[in-house]
Amino acid sequence: MSEESTDDAVVRRDRFSGGPAREFLSSLADDERIFEADLAVDRAHVVMLAEQDIVDDEDASAILRALDDIEEAGHGGLPDGEDVHEAIETAVIERVGPEGGRMHTARSRNDEVAACIRYRLRADVLALLETVVEAREQLLAVAAEHTETVMPGYTHLQPAQPTTVAHWICSYEQALARDTARLLDAYGRINQSPLGGAAFAGTPFDVDRERTAELLGFESLVENSMDAAAARDFLVETTAATATLATTLSGLAEDMVVFANRGFVELDDDYASTSSIMPQKKNPDTLELVRGRTGDATAGLEGLLTTLKGLPRAYNRDLQRAGRHAWDAIDSVSESVEVAVGAVSTADWPADELAMAAGEGFATATGVADLLAQSGVPFRTAHELVASAAEQSDDPGFAELDAASEAVLGESLTAHVPKAEIENALDPSESVAMRDSRGGPAPDAVGQHLDRARETLATDRDAVDERHSAVDDAAATLQSEVDTYV
C-alpha cells in the first residue's frame, strides 16, 4: 500500500473512530440560551437540599458561591461539556472540589433540563405577550382615529362592501386578542415544575418538590416523575400558539401589501425600501418578510412534532433538538409583531382615495337589497332585483334599479322604498352607517367595540403583569434564600 493510501485510510478510520461523537452529542453552544435558567435551577435545588438536611450548610454555601462565580464568568467561561448542565457542574467541582458534586444529589439531568427549558420559555412567552399587548394598544389607538375613514372591503379580493379603516384594524386586534389568550393558556402549562422527578422514577431522598417550585416561581408540579422527564407538549402548545400568531400577522401583512399596491395606504419610509435599479419604486419589503417569517414558525411546529412523534417514555436524546424549534419561532415572530403593527400605526391612510374606491364594483349593492328586505320584499327577491341592475351597468344608480324593479316586481322601486333612501344606500359612507349592528363598521358600532376591546386589553395586560410579578417575586425570594448561605 502506498504512503498516500495509508494516510487516507488513517483519515477515514479517524473519522469513524468515535472522536467526533463527543462534539455531535454536545449541545453546549446551543445551551447558552438556558445558561441563566440552569443557574437558577441549581440554586433552588441546592437551597432545598440544605433545608432538607440532604446537604450540609457548609457545602451548600460553597456550591452557591461557586455558582455566583460561574455566573460572573458567563457562558463563555464554562469548561467543555456535553451540555450546559454538565459544564456548570464541572465548573462547580473545579472551584469547590469533590464536595461540589453534591449539587447533583437527588436529581437527574432529565428533570434538570426540563426545568431549565420551562424556566426560560416562560420568560420568552412573557416577553412575547408584552409585545402583543403593546401592539394591540397601538392598533386600537389608530382605529380610534379612523372610525369614519371609509374604505373598500373585499371578499375573494373582489369589491364586496364598504367598511372603514377602524373596522379593518379592529378585526386584526381581535384576532391578536385570541392569540394573547392562547399564549396565556400555554403559559399556565409551561409554568409547572418537573424538578424532583429525577431520571424518570423519582428519588429515595426526602426532597421537597413544592419548595423548589416555589423558589423558581412555578405555579404547580408535573407530578408524575416519568411525565416530568418526558413531557414536551408544552413546547408544542407554545409553538402552535406562536405559529397561529404568525399566521394572523401574515394576513395583516398581506392586506397591507395589497392596499399599498392599490394606493390605499402610504407606508412610512422606515417600513419600505426602494428598488436597486428602479428609482420610482417604494416596496413594502418589511411586510413581505413578515409573511415570509410565518414559514419559520410553521416549519418549527412541524419540526417539533416530527421530533416528538413516536418517542417512547421517558427521556430520549432526540429531545435535545426539541427546544430550538420553539426558540426560533418565538424569536422570529416577536420581531414580526413589532414590524407589522409598526407599519400600520405609522402609515398614512388617504381618506379621499379610500372613499372613492369604497363604492367601486357596485360595492353598495347589499345595502340596497337590505333596504328592500326591510320594507317587506323577500331578501332573495331583493337580491335578484339588485343583481339584475348590476348586469345592466357596472355602476347602477336609481334609474337602473328602478328598471330592474319593474322587471322583477312589476312595479316601481318607490312602491317599497323612497328614492332618497335608495340614493343614500348607494353612498359608501351611508352604506357603512347603516351597518350599526354589534361588531359592524358603523362609527358608533366601532366606537362601542373599541370600548369593549380596551377592557379586554386591560384584563390581558393585568394578567401578563401578574405573571411577571410572580416570577420577579420568586426570583427575589430565591436570592434572599441564597444570601443566607453565601
**Catalytic residue positions, numbered:** 156, 275
Helix/strand/coil percentages in the chain, nearest 5: 70, 5, 25
For 12, the 3-state DSSP assignment is helix
Name, in order, each residue with C-beta under 8 angstroms of 433's C-beta and a sequence gap of 6 or more.
Answer: 442, 443
Name, in order, each residue with C-beta under 8 angstroms of 128's C-beta and a sequence gap of 6 or more.
Answer: 183, 242, 245, 330, 333, 334, 337
DSSP letter, residue 18: S
Pair 205, 54: CB distance under 8 Å = yes
Q: How far apart are CA 469 and CA 472, in angstroms?
A: 5
Cell of 42: 441549581
- Of 216, 214, 219, nearest to 191 by C-alpha is 219
Pair 452, 140: CB distance under 8 Å = no
- Of 382, 381, 362, nearest to 372 by C-alpha is 382
- Of 107, 98, 105, 101, nearest to 88 by C-alpha is 101
Q: How far apart are CA 142 and CA 311, in angstroms?
A: 48
Bridge partners of 159? 154
Pair 143, 168: CB distance under 8 Å = no
End-to-end Cα spacing for the chain = 65
Q: How far apart are CA 271 and CA 26, in angstroms?
A: 40
Cell of 123: 420568560
For 348, the 3-state DSSP assignment is strand
Bridge partners of 221? 193
Residue by residue, DSSP assigns 125-190 as HHHHHHHHHHHHHHHHHHHHHTTT-EEEEEETTEEEEEEEHHHHHHHHHHHHHHHHHHHHHHHHHH
Cβ-in-10-Å burial (0-12, 13-18, 19+) of 424 comes to: middle
Pair 118, 159: CB distance under 8 Å = no
Per-residue b or e along 282-315, where b marks 16 or more CB atoms closer than 10 Å to that residue's CB: eebebbebbbebbebbbebbebbeebbeeeeebb
